Structure 1
Amino acid sequence: MNNLTQNIIVGSKSHVARSLTLALLMLASANANARVTDAEAARLGKELTPIGAERAGNADGTIPEWTGGLPQRKTPRGDNPHATDKPLYAITAANLAQHEAHLSEGYKALFKTFPDYRMPVYPSRRSASYPQWFYEATQRNATAVSLTGDGFGFCCAAKGYPFPIPKSGTEVMWNHIMRYNTKGYRGFLDSAATAADGAYVVERDYVELSYAYNNIKSTVDSLRGMNLYAFTKTVSPPNKAGEAHLLHVPIDRIKDQTGVWVYSNSIGRARRIGEVGYDNPLFDGLMTHDQLDMFNGPLDRYTIKLVGKKDMIIPYNSYKLYDPTIKYKDIVTKGHINQDLARYELHRVWIIEAEVRPGFAHRYKRRTFYLDEDSWIVHVQDIYDERDQFWRTAESHSIAFANVPVVVNGVQVHYDLQSRRYVIINMTNEERKLIEYDWEADPGYFTPSGLKRFATTSQK
């Protein structure tokens, strides 16, 4: 099963102590599901940006005012709008103490684990921007959308961030899950899971994905509860190639079932399979299913708490990690990625704590998510094991595209501090073509019969 399939496939419901847990959850959800007032919503596009971030910079001027984000323009592949920026400073083990207040526990652990680890910190560039229709939809959602029942779904929106002025941690996480990635995309994405000695094999996947939600043409009625449709397949290495998957993914993945079909050459037909997800392991155990995309849900196994906001150093505008002149051997190095190619900036983030609910199980007992206020993307994640001991950390190296007004979380690095190994996903440097954004197809394209065609057609 390829990593893109695993990104979208979600798990089946747990029934352990479910009745009591859900009863308590529904009570908590009702208390947290306060509506945004008209006066609060009127702040969007004024002192708040159109998607709910604070427009102003911070008090000491180290985070600038948001002035509209990266201007839309035609650019060649590999264009870096901030190429002339120089690092303000680099954090190393020697000066770590001076910067700990702005670092996650995961970054502190990386410095302690790898003496050569460093973080180049650049000027903060608030480059996030989105289409005007998306801003308008988000504005409407502010007073119209609310969590449904137990918080595992929401009503009623077809596009835009559902909760631009969130009242709970659950609403914040929904903004990440339902964020704008254009109408869809297709292309090749590459990943590499490292061994302790730094060795790795590149896995190459091809995906065609079309969003029902966040399509300008969509309405609540036309969605029919669906989020997206996708075909995915692994192309190489040979021992992983040969299977293709079709996915029909609903918004509420607890109430509605995710449709998953698989095609293999040995069978010669598409067949429907059961769902997998949650803490099922990926990449030689370096990740879990729900850790892909930093977090892809569902939300039912965790109690989710909104801690607040804070200025934090996170990956941002990491254009070098997408540069087609840079090869994978220059990125994927022993212990951690080549930090000379990474870029970190100071940004305001939402901090969310998630802890496994009583009666439910997950190998990650506790997780802390750090979401960028300008994109609602989880940029950093800290992970604790079943003994509540720090275990893993993950980071998302986002970039903004000038050709298409969107921010993508793209390259993600997931570190296991105990084994000193990591996996990096969604690389495109060595691909002949960049991912094609704003690609779309009708739901009727994504059928079990279409899966065979997709699986047996060679993409270039």
Structure 2
Amino acid sequence: MPSRFRAWELCALMLAVGSAFTSNFAGADEKAEGDIPAFVGKDSPVGAWEYGKERGEFWKYRNEKPTATIDASSVGKYADKLTPGQIALFKAKPGYRMEIYPAHRVCGVPDFVAANSEQNKTLAKLDASEEHVVDGVTPGVMFPQPKTGAQAIYNYLLRYRGVGTSVSAQVTAVSPRPGSDEWITAVGPSLNYYPWAVEGHNKVVGGGAILNGISFTYVSPAALAGQGGAGKIYFNQDAEAYYYFTGQRRVRRMPSYLYDAPQLGYENEYLVDETGVFLGPPIDRFNWKLVGKKELYVPYSSFGMYRFNAKFDSVFSKSFVNPEFRRYEPHRVYVVEATLKPDARHVAHKKVFYLDEDTWIPVLAEDYDAQGNLWKVKEAYPIPVWELGGTCDFLAFTQYDMATGRYVSDQTTIGQGKDVRWFAKATEPWMKSDYFTSQALQSRSDR
């Protein structure tokens, strides 16, 4: 993808930025205010953590106690720090509770990301439709001082998270239907590749520039075993999606496997663009509005959702993710509303995202139906990723369907005995465009 700037330009930028900008540009709000502390710098583990050891055991704040517990009887007391979706969960799910912990602003970025973010203050642009990035440098925050909702959501979609992730056994869990005990639990390897995030000063270009390469395969349950998919999401052109069907022993292109298309195998509980809270681009079916900023209790440093040695039944109850595995802290968020365009089609007529000011991660989100009723409530579980120099990222997230009473928790490793692997450098043989093609998927699936 990238054209590269001269090395001396990057060095000059990094010297100008220095160590002052190692967050994702919260800007003036990096100061302490109320329950929210000042930004203190990038997190690091306590002790000899290495990949393969459970991360939460090496976190410096692991022994903290909650400062408050919110349940159905006390939710009114804390309503000003909760979203409509969070309040609805207390009312709809008996026994649901949130434990609140002290806030720690420890999510930083490498210096080269901070330097690029500084330049993007004056360089980054969206096209006239505000649907595509047409200028900017990566990896970095595209719009450190967003003026529109589209700019803010692109800060999320292009947040720095290394050049890729690998999960050897990713779990997608869909809770039972009311009156049933039967879960849908899909397990298999998955890969994500972000070529634009290679260390450097990479100019955004149009055409075939890949934003995300995706690959996954199912090994269980039996109904899905052997099936898998691959595809590419681009900066400025339509995405490509391919799926391997075991019964046909062939790969099919899935041109409509976008937006609100139901993902195969999940009984209409999980849509394609709900992956990772929101999968994009494209973002063209909605009008995006930046509402403002707000202090909320949000999931943060949620190491419990990355406990790959934990038992499935200890983490997931039939109604919700058990509170012992969720952690909430007070943080400031950008509130972004996405309203369906009059001439567009989508089952969700409005989406609301709550983007953490330090990471741009949608720590909370909501979907509303055509009648304006709250439909889905979502939360992401960010953690400091030490192998990325203290950058925070997430894979694990949960969404609750308020209409059916079911929920989906995806991209976890619960009960699988192996951790997520994040990569700071493009060292793996699958980190190439050709790996995410229909031909490569067919070749892997035929083995």
Q: TM-score interval w.r.t. the shorter chain?
A: 0.7 to 0.9
Cα deviation for residue 194 of structure 1 reads 0.7
Distance 2:272 2:308 in 1: 28
2:117 matched residue in structure 1: 138
Superposed CA offset, 1:46-97 (max 9, x none): 589453354534432x111111131378514213212111100101122211
One-letter code aligned to 2:258: G
1:403 corresponds to 2:407: no
> 1:444 matched to which residue of 2?
434
**Structure 1 CA distance, aligned partners of 2:302 and 2:27?**
21
- CA distance in structure 1 between the partners assigned to 2:192 and 2:278 by the alignment: 18
Paired amino acid for 2:40: T
Selected match of 2:242 from 261, 264, 267: 261
**Percent sequence identity over matched residues?**
25
Q: After the TM superposition, which residues 278-293 of structure 1 pair with which residues of structure 2 at under 5 Å, given as runs?
A: 278-282=259-263, 283-293=266-276
Partner Cα distance (2:234, 2:284) in 1: 15
Instruction: Look up the equivalent residue of 2:361 and give its one-letter code.
Output: I
Amino acid at match of 1:419: T
Q: Structure 1: which 5+ runs fail to align?
A: 1-41
Q: CA deviation at 1:449?
A: 3.0
Match of 1:124 in 2: 103
Residues 70-89 of structure 1 correspond to what in structure 2 (within 5 A)?
70-71=43-44, 75-76=49-50, 77-80=53-56, 81=59, 82-89=61-68
CA contact (8 A) 2:69 2:98 kept: yes
Provide the residue aligned with 1:203 in structure 2.
186
- Deviation of 1:231 after TM superposition, in Å, equals 2.2
Distance 1:118 1:221, change over 3 A: closer
| Segment drifting more, 184-193 vs 155-164 | 155-164
Aligned equivalents of 2:318 and 2:119: distance in 1?
A: 48
| Counterpart in the other structure of 1:192 | 173
What residue number does 1:360 align with?
Answer: 344
> Which amino acid in the other structure matches residue 357 of structure 2?
E
Tell me the SS of whatever aligns to 1:97: helix
Q: Distance in 2 between matches of 1:289 and 1:445?
A: 21
Q: Is the 8 A contact 2:19 2:111 kept in 1?
A: no
Give 2:25's aligned residue.
51
Aligned to 1:213, the other structure's residue is in SS state: helix
CA drift of 1:44 comes to: 10
- Residue 276 (structure 1) aligned with residue 261 (structure 2): no
Matches within 5 A, 1:321-360: 321-360=305-344
Following superposition, the deviation at residue 142 of structure 1 comes to 1.5
Tell me the alpha carbon deviations over residues 88-132 of structure 1, each in whole angstroms, 9 at most, x when there is no partner: 010112221110000000111011112311100001111212222
Distance 2:27 2:219 in 1: 40
| Worse-matched range after superposition: 120-129 or 282-291 | 282-291
Question: For residue 274 of structure 2, what is the amino acid of its counterpart?
Answer: Q
Find the counterpart in structure 2 of residue 8 from structure 1: none
Residue aligned with 2:244, SS? strand
Name which of structure 1's ranges 225-234 and 162-171 shifts more when overlaid on structure 2.
225-234
TM superposition shift of 1:425: 0.7
CA contact (8 A) 2:297 2:328 kept: yes
The match for 2:76 is 97
CA distance in 2, matches of 1:230, 1:53: 33
8 Å contact from structure 1 (residues 243, 264) kept in 2: yes
Matched pairs, number: 412
- Judging changes above 3 Å, is the alpha-carbon distance between structure 1 residues 117 and 285 closer, same or farther for their aligned structure 2 residues? same
Determine if the alignment matches structure 1 residue 182 to structure 2 residue 162: yes
Quote how far apart the aligned CAs of 1:334 are: 2.0
Please give the alpha-carbon distance, in whole angstroms, between the structure 1 residues aligned to 2:164 and 2:21. Answer: 31
Deviations 1:282-331 (A, max 9, x none): 43222322122111132111111111001100111111221233211111
Secondary structure in 2 aligned to 1:287? coil
C-alpha separation in 2, matches of 1:55 and 1:388: 33
CA contact (8 A) 1:48 1:54 kept: no
> Which segment drifts farther, 158-167 or 198-207?
198-207
- List per-residue Cα deviations over 1:228-255 (Å, max 9, x = no partner): 2232222211101222222122013xxx
Are residue 424 (structure 1) and residue 409 (structure 2) matched? Answer: yes
Seen in structure 2, the aligned counterparts of structure 1 residues 131 and 117 have a Cα distance that, compared at 3 Å, is same
Q: Which moved more, 1:43-52 or 1:68-77?
A: 43-52
Tell me how far apart the structure 2 counterparts of residues 99 and 364 of structure 1 sit (CA, whole Å): 28
* Alignment root-mean-square deviation, CA: 2.4
Q: What is the aligned counterpart of 1:64 among 37, 42, 58? A: 37
| Contact 1:48/1:55 (<8 A) preserved | no
* Paired letter, 2:260: D
What is the SS of the residue equivalent to 2:233? strand
For 2:380 and 2:335, the matched residues in 1 are separated by 15
CA contact (8 A) 1:44 1:51 kept: no
The structural deviation recorded for 1:429 is: 2.5
C-alpha separation in 2, matches of 1:289 and 1:222: 24
Q: TM-score, normalised by structure 1?
A: 0.83
1:401, 1:407 within 8 Å by CA — same for their partners in 2?
A: yes
Q: Which amino acid aligns with 1:425?
A: D
Q: Which residue of 2 aligns with 1:214?
A: 197
